[in-house]
Structure 1
Amino acid sequence: MGFERKIEITKDELAHLGAGEVGYIRKISSDEVQERFPGVPKMESGIDLWGLFNADGTPLFLSDDPSTAWGKAVEDEINPVSVH
Protein backbone atom coordinates (compact mmCIF):
# COMPACT_ATOMS: atom_id res chain seq x y z
CA MET A 1 0.00 0.00 0.00
CA GLY A 2 1.44 3.37 -1.03
CA PHE A 3 1.00 6.68 0.64
CA GLU A 4 -0.69 9.51 -1.18
CA ARG A 5 0.71 12.95 -0.63
CA LYS A 6 -1.88 15.68 -0.79
CA ILE A 7 -0.62 18.96 -2.17
CA GLU A 8 -2.75 22.02 -1.62
CA ILE A 9 -2.54 25.00 -3.91
CA THR A 10 -4.38 28.30 -3.63
CA LYS A 11 -6.42 29.79 -6.47
CA ASP A 12 -3.83 32.55 -6.78
CA GLU A 13 -0.98 30.03 -7.03
CA LEU A 14 -2.93 28.06 -9.61
CA ALA A 15 -3.60 31.21 -11.65
CA HIS A 16 0.13 31.93 -11.82
CA LEU A 17 1.27 28.37 -12.47
CA GLY A 18 3.60 28.41 -15.45
CA ALA A 19 3.65 32.21 -15.69
CA GLY A 20 6.76 33.34 -17.52
CA GLU A 21 7.51 29.78 -18.60
CA VAL A 22 4.43 28.61 -20.48
CA GLY A 23 2.24 30.59 -22.82
CA TYR A 24 -0.50 29.92 -25.26
CA ILE A 25 -1.16 31.07 -28.78
CA ARG A 26 -4.67 31.47 -30.06
CA LYS A 27 -6.57 33.11 -32.86
CA ILE A 28 -8.14 36.39 -31.81
CA SER A 29 -10.40 38.64 -33.85
CA SER A 30 -9.62 42.31 -34.26
CA ASP A 31 -12.90 42.93 -32.43
CA GLU A 32 -11.39 41.36 -29.27
CA VAL A 33 -8.07 43.19 -29.48
CA GLN A 34 -9.19 46.34 -27.63
CA GLU A 35 -10.29 44.40 -24.55
CA ARG A 36 -7.40 41.89 -24.53
CA PHE A 37 -4.55 44.19 -25.64
CA PRO A 38 -5.13 47.62 -24.06
CA GLY A 39 -3.36 50.44 -25.84
CA VAL A 40 -3.42 48.85 -29.30
CA PRO A 41 -4.89 51.26 -31.87
CA LYS A 42 -8.43 50.55 -33.09
CA MET A 43 -8.49 48.14 -36.02
CA GLU A 44 -10.85 47.29 -38.81
CA SER A 45 -13.48 44.80 -37.67
CA GLY A 46 -13.36 41.12 -38.64
CA ILE A 47 -9.60 40.60 -39.03
CA ASP A 48 -8.13 37.34 -37.69
CA LEU A 49 -4.95 37.81 -35.66
CA TRP A 50 -2.83 35.62 -33.39
CA GLY A 51 -2.16 36.45 -29.76
CA LEU A 52 0.53 35.13 -27.47
CA PHE A 53 -0.63 35.07 -23.86
CA ASN A 54 1.14 34.22 -20.63
CA ALA A 55 -0.14 31.12 -18.81
CA ASP A 56 -2.21 33.42 -16.56
CA GLY A 57 -3.89 35.08 -19.57
CA THR A 58 -1.78 38.23 -19.66
CA PRO A 59 -1.42 39.40 -23.29
CA LEU A 60 2.20 39.39 -24.49
CA PHE A 61 2.30 39.73 -28.28
CA LEU A 62 -0.02 40.19 -31.25
CA SER A 63 0.61 39.18 -34.86
CA ASP A 64 -1.19 38.54 -38.12
CA ASP A 65 0.78 35.30 -38.51
CA PRO A 66 0.74 32.32 -36.10
CA SER A 67 4.35 31.37 -36.82
CA THR A 68 5.50 34.88 -35.83
CA ALA A 69 3.67 34.55 -32.50
CA TRP A 70 5.25 31.11 -32.04
CA GLY A 71 8.70 32.53 -32.84
CA LYS A 72 8.22 35.34 -30.33
CA ALA A 73 7.37 32.81 -27.63
CA VAL A 74 10.51 30.81 -28.38
CA GLU A 75 12.61 33.99 -28.48
CA ASP A 76 11.29 34.98 -25.03
CA GLU A 77 11.96 31.44 -23.71
CA ILE A 78 8.27 30.73 -23.23
CA ASN A 79 7.13 27.19 -24.00
CA PRO A 80 4.27 27.82 -26.41
CA VAL A 81 1.14 25.73 -26.67
CA SER A 82 -1.68 26.22 -29.11
CA VAL A 83 -5.24 26.68 -27.88
CA HIS A 84 -8.13 25.89 -30.20
Structure 2
Amino acid sequence: MDYCEFKNLDPGEFEVLGEGAIAYVKQMRSEEITKAFPLIKSLEPGMKFYALLSASGQPILLADSETAAVANAWEQELMTVSLQ
Protein backbone atom coordinates (compact mmCIF):
# COMPACT_ATOMS: atom_id res chain seq x y z
CA MET A 1 0.00 0.00 0.00
CA ASP A 2 1.48 3.35 -0.94
CA TYR A 3 0.94 6.85 0.42
CA CYS A 4 -1.93 7.59 -1.99
CA GLU A 5 -3.89 4.68 -0.56
CA PHE A 6 -3.24 5.81 3.04
CA LYS A 7 -4.71 9.26 2.48
CA ASN A 8 -8.07 7.75 1.46
CA LEU A 9 -8.50 5.74 4.68
CA ASP A 10 -11.00 6.86 7.27
CA PRO A 11 -9.69 7.04 10.88
CA GLY A 12 -11.10 3.64 11.85
CA GLU A 13 -9.51 1.90 8.87
CA PHE A 14 -6.17 3.59 9.55
CA GLU A 15 -6.25 2.53 13.19
CA VAL A 16 -6.91 -1.13 12.39
CA LEU A 17 -4.35 -1.23 9.60
CA GLY A 18 -1.56 0.51 11.44
CA GLU A 19 -1.74 -0.44 15.10
CA GLY A 20 1.69 -1.70 16.13
CA ALA A 21 3.23 -0.89 12.76
CA ILE A 22 2.45 2.74 11.90
CA ALA A 23 2.87 5.91 13.93
CA TYR A 24 2.72 9.61 13.27
CA VAL A 25 4.40 12.68 14.71
CA LYS A 26 2.26 15.60 15.81
CA GLN A 27 3.52 18.97 16.95
CA MET A 28 1.79 19.92 20.19
CA ARG A 29 1.85 22.91 22.50
CA SER A 30 2.41 22.42 26.20
CA GLU A 31 -1.25 23.19 26.89
CA GLU A 32 -2.26 20.07 24.89
CA ILE A 33 0.38 17.80 26.39
CA THR A 34 -1.26 17.28 29.79
CA LYS A 35 -4.37 15.94 28.05
CA ALA A 36 -2.48 13.46 25.86
CA PHE A 37 0.15 12.55 28.48
CA PRO A 38 -1.71 12.52 31.83
CA LEU A 39 1.43 11.70 33.85
CA ILE A 40 2.87 15.09 32.91
CA LYS A 41 1.29 17.51 35.34
CA SER A 42 2.63 20.94 34.43
CA LEU A 43 4.62 22.59 31.68
CA GLU A 44 5.39 26.20 30.96
CA PRO A 45 2.64 27.54 28.64
CA GLY A 46 3.49 28.09 24.98
CA MET A 47 6.23 25.47 24.65
CA LYS A 48 6.28 23.29 21.52
CA PHE A 49 6.88 19.53 21.60
CA TYR A 50 6.61 16.64 19.18
CA ALA A 51 4.50 13.65 20.16
CA LEU A 52 4.90 10.24 18.59
CA LEU A 53 1.42 8.71 18.46
CA SER A 54 0.23 5.25 17.45
CA ALA A 55 -2.21 4.78 14.57
CA SER A 56 -5.01 4.84 17.16
CA GLY A 57 -3.75 8.13 18.59
CA GLN A 58 -2.30 6.66 21.77
CA PRO A 59 0.79 8.57 22.94
CA ILE A 60 4.09 6.73 22.67
CA LEU A 61 6.75 9.38 23.23
CA LEU A 62 7.18 13.09 23.80
CA ALA A 63 10.26 14.77 22.33
CA ASP A 64 11.66 18.26 21.93
CA SER A 65 12.32 17.79 18.21
CA GLU A 66 10.63 16.11 15.29
CA THR A 67 13.91 14.35 14.46
CA ALA A 68 14.04 12.74 17.90
CA ALA A 69 10.42 11.56 17.63
CA VAL A 70 10.99 10.02 14.19
CA ALA A 71 14.25 8.39 15.34
CA ASN A 72 12.39 6.76 18.22
CA ALA A 73 9.77 5.43 15.80
CA TRP A 74 12.52 3.86 13.69
CA GLU A 75 14.10 2.32 16.80
CA GLN A 76 10.73 0.72 17.57
CA GLU A 77 10.39 -0.41 13.92
CA LEU A 78 7.36 1.79 13.36
CA MET A 79 6.74 3.33 9.95
CA THR A 80 5.95 7.03 10.26
CA VAL A 81 3.31 8.59 8.05
CA SER A 82 2.26 12.15 7.43
CA LEU A 83 -1.34 13.02 8.17
CA GLN A 84 -3.01 15.78 6.20
TM superposition score normalised by structure 1: 0.78
Identity across the alignment (%)? 31
* Higher helix proportion (structure 1 or 2): 2
Structure 1: 5+ residue stretches without partners: 1-10
Mark the runs of 5 or more structure 2 residues left unpaired by the alignment: 1-10
Is the Cα–Cα contact under 8 Å of residues 50 and 63 in structure 1 kept in the other structure?
yes
TM-score (norm 2): 0.78
Contact 1:52 1:61 (8 Å CA) reproduced: yes
What letter corresponds to residue 60 of structure 2 in structure 1? L
- Contact (CA 8 Å) 1:17, 1:56: kept in 2 or not? no
Q: CA RMSD in A?
A: 1.9
Deviating above 4 A after TM superposition, structure 1's stretches of 4 or more consecutive aligned residues are: 11-14
What number of residue pairs does the alignment pair up? 74
Which amino acid in 1 is paired with 2:55?
Answer: A
2:81 match: 81
